Amino acid sequence: MAWKKVKSILPAGNYYFSGNEAITEGAVAAGCGYYAGYPITPATEILETISVRFRETGAVSIQMEDEIASICACIGASWAGAKAMTATSGPGFSLMQEGIGYAVMTETPVVIVDTQRAGPSTGQATRVGSGDIMQARWGTHGALPIIALSPWSVQELYDQTINAFNLAEKYRVPVFLMAEEATAHLRERIDIAGEIKLFDREKKPGVAAFGTEESDGVPPMPIFGEREKLLVTGSTHDAYGIRKTDNPLTQEKLIVRLNNKIVNRREEIIEYEEYHLKDADIAIVCYGFTARSSLFAIERLRKEGEKVGMLRLKTLWPFADRVISDVGSRVNRIFVPEMNMGQVVGEVMKYASCEVVPYNQVNGEIIQPNTITEHLRRLL
Amino acid sequence: MARDLEQYLRPGIGATTFCPGCGEAILMRLILRAIDELKIDIDDMLFVSGIGCAAWIPSPYFNAETLHTLHGRAIAFATGAKMFNPKLKTMVISGDGDLADIGGNHLIHAARRNIDLTVICANNMNYGMTGGQVCSTTPQGAYTQTTPQGNPYRPMDLCKLVQAAGATYVARYSVTQRVALINSVERALQTRGFSFIEALTPCPVQFGRRNQLGAPADMLKSLVDKCVMKEDAENLSLEELKGKIITGEFSDGCS
């Protein structure tokens, strides 16, 4: 079985961590064997704490010369058998896009943390934003489905880092942890469980590593050093990795499978939480730190007797199309607050039949509960 | 390809895609000869390449673990694989445009870290695969698709660069210096630390054609005439060294 239960390296109990520290501990708990990164605010503490923690656990880490080298080294390590991770923020995330496409095309498990800051360009390095949601999905040329998670607390940064490794190994795809400056630098109490469920990549010696009979299959993944004479290439390839750069059928078969292996499994990948949605007239659809303010706002309005609810997207990609469609058919309006000029709201509009109202705040600060309460009042 | 080296080729691939007269097929054979002479089990090796003609030397032809990566990033990929599994005897094979132009920063930093990689840089003095554009190794004045008036810039000395960055083993040979190049690959493979070989190789179709360098055989002969061993060069005057290419081992941490 690819699933296994392991004892947590940190003794079970309560800890007081910053978000970035929790990501490091999540990586340690998930058995991350290789980390390559480059300093960038507000993700630097991940590289710093990993440099210390990996020495203690025997895992390998390095500060590379840039983010391009970081993602590439992680992909190389992944094929050498490591669970690999890198972490960055906006500018570094932009540099990584070509490597991310390579990971998609070669079906390489790799975890990429994007501790989002206010962009574009250098923007406000120490301030919060969620401007990279579309970049995660569409940033690399010829983009194909990936998995992106949106944690809202320090606890979830820990849990979702472990989950990110499991998803990456299970589906052979890059997985993005779309952290935000506000949670990365927040300190909160978290609970570490004594036992952790991990997924290790499936290996089947001699079986084709880049193709399956099914049009949405995930092939087993061999690693270098097992005498499989692996051939890994970012060029269009057949099931055995042989380059086929002018064969229309090979190209179509590969791209369709890379698309379908995620799209057709979205129900088992997607996680979300509902709050007060059963009788709601208005629903907030939110993610990340903004969901904290949103929850505060709807709890207050509920006490006032208003029928407001909330859907928190824990998984941003693949997008929760069916859930949105369902919520959209039950409420009159959906309110989508975001720390960008409108990214997830466009997806919500695609699938919701009701009116969808965006709220965009891009001043480098978190959206306050009061702001959300006021806007909801106007919609009631 | 010499028959006894066919055991190292991936079955069922057939003819190579190198242009007629390309020196990279010679380089392919010399690398395999070195591996064969050292009696290295090719299954213990990992070949990493970037994008460009030389990157196709191992991919798909070598019947071994192969990671064919992005343009310029082969050394970064190789660094990750080697760090996580140091048992992988890792060799990067790519071109001058790939390793020195777009990937120059990774080359410098891998040499600085002195990570245990063997990097073989096939230098054909231009971008062959994309149709013959100027490169950081193109001689000043040479004609390419993007320097119709002649290259205004001086070429970069890759060996000096890598040596200055701290590599343990640095050498330059031409594919015409077959025995020396085989020995050099063997020394590089036996080096603990970063080893770098600049392998000069003719590109008759893209580079030679635009610079009236004649048929493939003429270009090979020209390399034979131009390449001078480092030790012999010491006795030559600046006048005599004009137009010559100095070859040999520039750093040898093994000795």
Gap between the Cα atoms of A341 and A242, Å rounded? 43
Predicted complex: ipTM over 0.90:
yes
What angle is formed at CA A172 by the lines to CA A169 and CA A175, rounded to 5 degrees?
75
pLDDT at B254 exceeding the cut of 60: no
CA–CA distance, B52 with B10 (Å, rounded to integer): 20
Domains held by chain A: number: 2
Fold topology of B3-252: Rossmann fold (3.40.50)
Residue at which a domain ends, from A140, A164, A199: A199
B79 with A62: Cβ contact below 8 A: yes
**Above 60 in pLDDT, residue B132?**
yes
Kindly report, residue by residue over A282-301, the tens digit of the pLDDT: 999 999 999 999 999 999 99
Q: Would the CB atoms of A230 and B83 count as touching at under 8 Å?
A: no
- The C-alpha atoms of residue A31 and residue A82 are separated, in whole angstroms, by 9
Last residue of a domain, one of A176, A199, A222: A199
- Spatial contact of B47 and B64, defined as CB atoms under 8 Å apart: yes
Q: What pLDDT shows up at residue B255?
A: 41
Residue A231, chain B, CB below 8 Å: the answer is yes
**CA-to-CA distance for A214 and A155, rounded, in angstroms?**
37
Distance from CA of B61 to the nearest CA of A (A): 10
Residue extents of the structural domains in chain B: 3-252
Between the alpha carbon of residue A172 and those of residues A82, A103, A200, the distances in Å are: 13, 9, 11
Q: A69 and B79 in contact by Cβ < 8 A? A: yes
Q: What percent of chain B has pLDDT over 90?
A: 95
CA B128 to chain centre: 14
Burial class (CB in 10 A: 0-12, 13-18, 19+), B120: buried
| Binary contact (B77, A235; C-beta < 8 A) | no
Where residue A353 sits, what CATH number does that domain have? 3.40.50.920
Using only C-alpha atoms, chain A has a radius of gyration, in whole angstroms, of 21
Predicted confidence (pLDDT) per residue in A322-368, tens digit = 999 999 999 999 999 999 999 999 999 999 999 999 999 999 999 99
CB A77 to CB B84 under 8 A?
yes
Of the candidates A348, A231, A372, the residue with the CA atom closest to the CA atom of residue A285? A348
Question: Average pLDDT for residues B21-27, to the nearest whole number?
Answer: 97
* Whole-prediction pTM: 0.98
Asked if A98 reaches chain B (Cβ–Cβ under 8 Å), the answer is: yes
Parts of chain A with a pLDDT under 70: 1
- Sort out which chain A residues have CB atoms less than 8 A from B65's CB and list them: 224-225, 228-230
Domain limits for position A161: 3-199
Q: Both A78 and A177 in a single domain?
A: yes
Residues A63 and A175 in one domain: yes
**CATH (domain of A169):** 3.40.50.970
Given this model, what pLDDT does residue A345 score?
98
Which residue does chain A place closest to B44, by CA atoms? A225
pLDDT for residue B1 is more than 70 = no
The verdict on residue A85 lying in a domain is yes
Residues 6+ apart with CB under 8 A from A250: A236, A237, A238, A244
CA dihedral A369, A371, A373, A376 (to 10 degrees): -140
Task: Tell me the two tokens of residue A273.
Answer: 């939480």
A288 plus A193 within the same structural domain: no
> Rounded to a whole number, what is the distance in Å from the CA of B184 to chain A's nearest CA?
25
Residue that terminates a domain, selected from A149, A183, A199: A199
In a domain, A225, yes or no: no
B73–A68: do the CB atoms touch at under 8 Å? yes
Does residue A372 lie in a domain region?
yes
- B66 and A230 within 8 Å at the Cβ level: the answer is yes
Look up residue A125 and give its two tokens: 């390095």
Instruction: Please check whether residues A195 and A319 belong to one and the same domain.
Output: no
- Residue A255 distance to chain B (closest CA, Å): 18
Alpha carbons A41 and A28: distance in angstroms, whole number: 22
